[in-house]
């Protein structure tokens, strides 16, 4: 088969590799029909994720068709159309019993790490992929859910909802600010209304993404390159700041921005993947009764979100802005890597 292979920082190739094989009774082989690229893949290519070995097939999002199942698999069968979760989990360990699939203790890849596809084992940017723990890591898709909608449920929608909205403790009537209107930030914006947010403020430096945020549910937008951006946000509340600030970029400046616009008693939910230390100004924040949360998505809300997508309550397909074939995967990376210029949100890569 062909696959997108990582060959060290800055190096990748679409090349011939061996087909995946069943290795454990709980494995499933899936023919990948649709995949996409995540910001985390760009971090890997920059060398920011040293655990990714040279020769690894990248990708942790996908939709496909089951072609082979291990002897212990009971919930999917050959021919099923399935969503591939970005998190693989055994469903049996103590963390899985808590719904913390991100910290699955099974020894596939590394104990305590649920994100293994395209990280510690070969991933989904390939014609076929081996998915460990198929019963708990794959979701059968209803006939009415398109590939383009379904692939957004692999990672960005549950990430934005679980780590942003749920961990941020959004409740009815809240004013929510989302700092960073990229795909995950837009997923937080889209799903904040599920918990009754009264006002959703999108902040970004990119005017195009702020315009996109309005279509995804933002009631207000602020360019945080403006000199008075903090005053603009506070003017939309009662002057005290927002109830929940969601950080969806992963750099020190955006985390600091969240702490500057949240009100006493509020929450800061960090969703972004940080590659550098962030200074926490506790000398100013200790008195504010803030909750600060972090997390890696566990995808325990995927079944619920899938129902909403199937009933057209969430327009997940709206994240798709550019489309490519598998043979054009390098062009897809180029487009996604220049998102500010190309106005890309999620690129869809199909057979």
Domains with residue ranges and CATH for the chain: 2-155+299-350 (3.90.180.10), 157-293 (3.40.50.720)
pLDDT for the residue 234: 96
Mean pLDDT of 223-230: 96
Pair 190, 214: CB distance under 8 Å: no
pLDDT for the residue 161: 98
Pair 271, 208: CB distance under 8 Å: no
Q: Tell me the C-alpha distance between 199 and 74, whole Å.
A: 44
Pair 247, 260: CB distance under 8 Å: no
> Is pLDDT of 320 > 90?
yes
Q: What is the DSSP letter of 185?
A: H
pLDDT for the residue 286: 95
> Is pLDDT of 157 > 90?
yes
Pair 33, 65: CB distance under 8 Å: yes
Mean pLDDT of 265-284: 93
Pair 79, 65: CB distance under 8 Å: yes
pLDDT for the residue 276: 86
Instruction: Please name which of 88, 250, 268 lies closest in space to residue 176, comparing C-alpha atoms.
Output: 268
Look at strands 346-350 and 2-6 and give their pairing.
unpaired
Q: Where are the alpha helices (DSSP H) in the chain?
A: 39-45, 94-97, 134-137, 147-150, 156-159, 183-192, 207-215, 229-235, 252-261, 282-285, 302-310, 329-337, 339-342
Mean pLDDT of 311-333: 97
3-state secondary structure of 36: strand
> Is pLDDT of 107 > 90?
no
**Between 49 and 179, the higher pLDDT residue:** 179
The mean of the pLDDT values for the chain is: 97
For residue 324, give the H/E element and its range: strand 320-325
């Amino acid at each position: 088969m062909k696959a997108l292979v990582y060959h060290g920082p800055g190096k990748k190739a679409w090349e011939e590799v061996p087909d995946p094989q069943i290795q454990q009774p709980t494995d499933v082989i899936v023919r990948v029909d649709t995949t996409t690229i995540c910001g985390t893949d760009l971090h890997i290519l920059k060398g920011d994720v040293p655990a990714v070995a040279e020769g690894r097939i990248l990708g942790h999002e996908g939709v496909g068709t089951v072609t082979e199942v291990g002897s212990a698999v009971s919930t999917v069968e050959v021919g099923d159309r399935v969503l591939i979760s970005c998190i693989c989990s055994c469903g049996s360990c103590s963390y899985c019993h808590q719904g913390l699939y991100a910290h699955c203790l099974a020894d596939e890849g590394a104990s305590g790490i649920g994100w293994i596809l395209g990280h510690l084992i070969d991933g989904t940017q390939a014609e076929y992929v081996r998915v460990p723990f198929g019963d708990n890591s794959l979701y059968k898709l209803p006939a009415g859910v398109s590939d383009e909608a379904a692939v957004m449920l692999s990672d960005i929608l549950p990430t934005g909802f679980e780590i942003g909205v749920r961990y941020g403790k959004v409740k009815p009537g809240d004013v929510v600010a989302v700092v960073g209107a990229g795909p995950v930030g837009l997923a937080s914006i889209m799903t904040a209304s599920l918990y009754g947010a009264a006002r959703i403020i999108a902040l970004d430096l990119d005017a195009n993404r702020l315009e996109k945020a309005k279509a995804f549910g933002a009631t207000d937008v602020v360019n945080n390159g403006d000199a008075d951006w903090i005053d603009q946000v506070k003017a939309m509340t009662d002057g005290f700041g927002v109830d929940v600030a969601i950080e969806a970029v992963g750099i020190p400046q955006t985390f600091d921005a969240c702490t500057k616009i949240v009100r006493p008693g509020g929450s800061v939910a960090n969703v972004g993947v940080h590659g550098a230390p962030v200074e926490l100004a506790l000398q100013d924040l200790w008195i504010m009764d803030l909750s600060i949360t972090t997390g890696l998505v566990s995808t325990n809300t995927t079944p619920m979100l899938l129902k909403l997508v199937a009933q057209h309550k969430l327009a997940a397909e709206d994240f798709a802005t550019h489309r490519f074939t598998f043979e054009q995967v390098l062009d897809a990376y180029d487009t996604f890597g220049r998102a500010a210029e190309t106005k890309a949100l999620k690129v869809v890569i199909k057979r």
